[in-house]
């Protein structure tokens, strides 16, 4: 009998082999990396009741996620519809058909330069509307994609020990952002490097044709959390393919071109930072590319092959410039908007990377940051106790975690408040479908704010509110208000809110036990 909510039959294929390439350089060599997030997203879809027995999985993919979904679909009796494009090679196409997948190839970019990825998503939306019981794993926006990589991060720590630098290709953002977030819980100084390609808009290049599949793209996925990255490198296809051959010829690893790209950057970083432990992510094997990257005739048609290939990156001033070869940029854990506006470029160039993340000029805010809180973090917040008279007014952490487990992660965002590497509290922000009835759609609401008893009296409640407002300003530019409901009997919370800049709106909500005042902060004029 199948256990449909624990789809572990292919589990042995999920994790990579860890290969030592030189003293401090390790390759995490996956058979098919996407099996890990695919299985996790499907399992969670079943748990939430979105994916029903015999239902249809619909996704946009040009390769590896599609194959992973197809393998899981046959194991567990689901149908699969894939919307893909030119980059789906004929062998994979045949294999997917053999696995019973319905494939539609979208062949032209849409009107107004909307790009082929957007066209794929538009077509996918039509399938989702037409097919009853259809489920969209949504790798670009589903928080379960990055979350799936907790298991990989755990394995890396077990096998490598201290990790100083993680390098990998970025497509949906799931693997690099997820793994980095998990690793930073243990190694806060971890240096994260994204590998992209010219003409991909993910890290600020002007849009153009991207000649490789798997990394980069014409839309910026929600799962690309730019603030995770210290450095970004762009490699031309010829440079990636050279890295792929070097990985094969020098180490015997027969991998795909995005692995070659990660290897080229990781090998350089490891040589220029001796004594550091570096892990490079290699997402898939080379078999798919036998007739392309591993074929000399095909390679000879690639622009720049084999003469225009850099052996080290050229440091660039701005990601928006035209790139003719391997280039690198100090991203310094900034948002895309900050990089585009040139914000804090100076501090980035001269200061350590951690200072770049601090959004505050006051001393109080220095060393403070938000980190994502997931329902796996119960032990991380176990020390945040409150006095009994405060507990009365807030949900116990177990209830918060239960809600997090059951709510779509795209509309509820839970954060740890971290001050000088210590977790001092947490809160949850809600938007769109998760908004309470008293909040207008233009607002984001603040809930479950908890600052541990032993950390109170240091201004951390105020700090948490400011960090929440900062997150909204950076991540939700269309939102104009942050709102909160405070139990009329909770004098301390009311004072905290007022001293943080909230003002009464005059509205009252009846609340579960007693009435709540609705307070609001108007964010900067939009
Ligand atoms: C071959 C290959 N490499 C790298 C990536 C990028 O991984 P992620 O989507 O986790 O950013 C993908 C994503 O599809 C891929 O197929």
Whether 256 lines ligand 1, by a CB cut-off of 6 Å, is: yes
Which residues 6+ apart lie within 8 Å of 189 measured at CB? 164, 354
Q: Is the CB of 221 under 6 A from ligand 1?
A: no
Nearest CA to ligand 1 atom 12: 214
pLDDT band of 491, cuts 50, 70, 90? confident
pLDDT at site 270: 97
3-state per-residue secondary structure call for 126-148: HHHHHCCCEECCCCCCCCHHHHC
CB distance 241 to 211 below 8 Å = no
Q: Is pLDDT of 471 > 70?
A: yes
Identify the pLDDT of residue 74. 97
Confidence of residue 374 (pLDDT cuts 50, 70, 90): confident
Instruction: Provide the mean pLDDT of the chain.
Output: 88
**Residue 253, CA distances (Å) to 27, 246, 263, 287 in order:** 9, 9, 11, 12
Q: How far is the CA of 20 from the centre of ligand 1 (A)?
A: 22
H helix or E strand, kind and range, residue 41 = helix 35-47
Q: Which ligand 1 atom is nearest residue 178's CA?
A: 10
Of 298, 327, 356, which residue sits at a domain end? 356
- Position in ligand 1 atom list of the atom nearest CA 61: 14
pLDDT tens digits, one per residue of 96-151: 999 999 999 998 665 544 577 778 888 898 999 899 989 999 898 888 999 999 99
Distance between CA atoms of 329 and 297, rounded to whole angstroms? 33
Confidence of residue 352 (pLDDT cuts 50, 70, 90): very low
Same domain, 300 and 365: no
Question: CA–CA separation, 16 vs 186, rounded Å?
Answer: 21
In this structure, which residue's CA is closest to atom 4 in ligand 1?
Answer: 214
In terms of domains, do 173 and 310 share one?
yes
Instruction: Give pLDDT, residue 344.
Output: 57
**Is the full-model pTM beyond 0.85?**
no
In a domain, 2, yes or no: no
171 lines ligand 1 (CB under 6 A): yes
350 plus 393 within the same structural domain = no
Give residue 172 CA to ligand 1 midpoint distance, Å.
Answer: 7
Counting every residue written for the chain, the total comes to: 526
Q: What is the pLDDT of residue 524?
A: 63
Q: What is the mean pLDDT of residues 179-208?
A: 95
pLDDT at 354 > cutoff 50: no
314: three-class secondary structure by DSSP: strand
CA 169 / ligand 1 centre spacing (Å): 7
Pick from 123-137, 293-307, 358-372, 487-501 the range whose average pLDDT is largest.
Answer: 293-307
**Inside any domain, residue 428:** yes
**Domains held by the chain: number:** 3
Ligand 1 lined by 284 (C-beta under 6 Å):
yes
| Domain co-membership, 234 together with 85 | no
Residue 17, in any domain of the structure: no
Residues 352 and 362 in one domain: no
**Does ligand 1 come within 6 angstroms of the Cβ of 169?**
yes
The pLDDT value recorded for residue 509 is: 80
Q: Which of 15-24, 85-94, 323-332, 375-384 has the lowest mean pLDDT?
A: 375-384
CATH number of the domain that residue 478 is part of: 3.40.630.30
35 lines ligand 1 (CB under 6 A): no
Looking at 298, 331, 356, which one is the last position of a domain?
356
The residue among 142 and 70 whose pLDDT is bigger is 70
In a shared domain, residues 205 and 184: yes
Do 371 and 498 sit in the same domain of this protein? yes
The reply to whether 14 falls in a domain is no
Taking only the tens place, the pLDDT of each residue in 34-49 is 999 999 999 999 988 8
Q: Do residues 335 and 372 both lie within one domain?
A: no
Nearest residue CA, atom 7 of ligand 1? Answer: 171
DSSP run (H or E) holding 483 = strand 481-487
Give me the DSSP letters along 154-200.
HHHHHHH-S--EEEEE-SSSHHHHHHHHHHHTT-TT-EEEEEE-TT-
Domain that holds residue 283: 146-356
Among 325, 356, 387, give the residue marking a domain's end.
356
The minimum-distance atom of ligand 1 relative to the CA of 171 is 11
Q: Is the CB of 214 under 6 A from ligand 1?
A: yes
**Tokens of residue 480, six digits:** 């104009």
Highest mean pLDDT among 31-40, 211-220, 403-412, 508-517: 31-40
Rounded Cα distance between 61 and 23, Å, is 36
In a domain, 495, yes or no: yes
Q: With cut-offs at 50, 70 and 90, classify the pLDDT of residue 191.
A: very high
Query: Does residue 360 surpass a pLDDT of 50?
Result: no
**312 and 428 belong to one structural domain:** no
């Amino acid at each position: 009998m199948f256990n449909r909510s624990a789809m572990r039959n292919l589990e042995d294929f999920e994790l990579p082999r860890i290969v030592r390439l030189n003293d401090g350089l390790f390759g995490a060599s996956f058979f098919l990396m996407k099996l890990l997030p695919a299985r996790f997203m499907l399992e969670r879809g079943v748990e939430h009741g979105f994916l029903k027995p015999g239902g249809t999985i619909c996704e946009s993919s040009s390769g590896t996620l599609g194959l992973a979904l197809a393998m899981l679909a046959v194991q567990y009796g689901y149908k699969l519809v894939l919307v893909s494009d030119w980059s789906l090679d004929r062998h994979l196409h045949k294999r997917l058909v053999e696995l019973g997948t319905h494939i539609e190839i979208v062949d032209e970019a849409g009107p107004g330069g909307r790009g082929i990825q957007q066209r794929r998503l538009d077509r996918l939306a039509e399938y989702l509307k037409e097919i009853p019981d259809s489920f969209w794993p949504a790798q670009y926006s589903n928080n379960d994609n990055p979350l799936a990589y907790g298991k990989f991060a755990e394995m890396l720590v077990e096998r490598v020990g201290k990790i100083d630098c993680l390098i990998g290709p970025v497509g949906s953002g799931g693997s690099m952002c997820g793994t980095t977030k998990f690793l930073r819980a243990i190694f806060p100084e971890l240096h994260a490097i994204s590998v992209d390609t010219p003409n991909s808009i993910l890290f600020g290049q002007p849009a153009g044709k991207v000649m490789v599949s798997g990394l980069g793209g014409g839309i910026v996925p929600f799962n690309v959390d730019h603030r995770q990255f210290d450095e970004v490198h762009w490699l031309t296809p010829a440079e990636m393919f050279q890295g792929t051959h070097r990985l094969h010829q020098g180490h015997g690893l027969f991998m795909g071109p995005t692995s070659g790209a990660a290897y080229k950057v990781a090998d350089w970083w490891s040589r220029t930072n001796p004594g550091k432990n570096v892990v490079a992510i290699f997402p898939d094997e080379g078999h798919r590319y036998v007739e392309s990257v591993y074929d000399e005739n095909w390679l000879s048609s690639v622009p720049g092959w084999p003469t225009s290939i850099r052996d080290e990156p050229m440091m660039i001033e701005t990601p928006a410039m035209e790139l003719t070869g391997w280039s690198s940029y100090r991203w310094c854990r900034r948002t895309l908007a900050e990089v585009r506006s040139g914000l804090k470029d100076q501090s980035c160039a001269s200061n350590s990377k951690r200072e770049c993340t601090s959004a505050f000029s006051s001393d109080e805010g220095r060393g403070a940051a938000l980190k994502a809180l997931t329902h796996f973090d119960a032990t991380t917040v176990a020390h945040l106790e409150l006095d009994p008279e405060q507990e009365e007014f807030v949900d116990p952490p177990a209830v918060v975690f239960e809600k997090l487990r059951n709510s779509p992660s795209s509309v509820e965002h839970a954060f740890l408040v971290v001050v000088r590497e210590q977790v001092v509290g947490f809160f949850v922000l809600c938007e769109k479908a998760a908004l309470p009835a008293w909040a207008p759609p233009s607002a984001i609401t603040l809930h479950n704010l908890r600052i541990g008893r032993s950390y109170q009296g240091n201004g951390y409640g105020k700090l948490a509110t400011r960090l929440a407002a900062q997150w909204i300003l950076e991540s939700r530019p269309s939102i104009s208000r942050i709102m909160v409901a405070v139990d009329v009997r909770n004098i301390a919370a009311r004072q905290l809110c007022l001293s943080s800049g909230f003002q009464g709106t005059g509205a009252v909500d009846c609340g579960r036990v007693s009435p709540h005042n609705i307070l609001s902060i108007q964010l900067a004029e939009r």
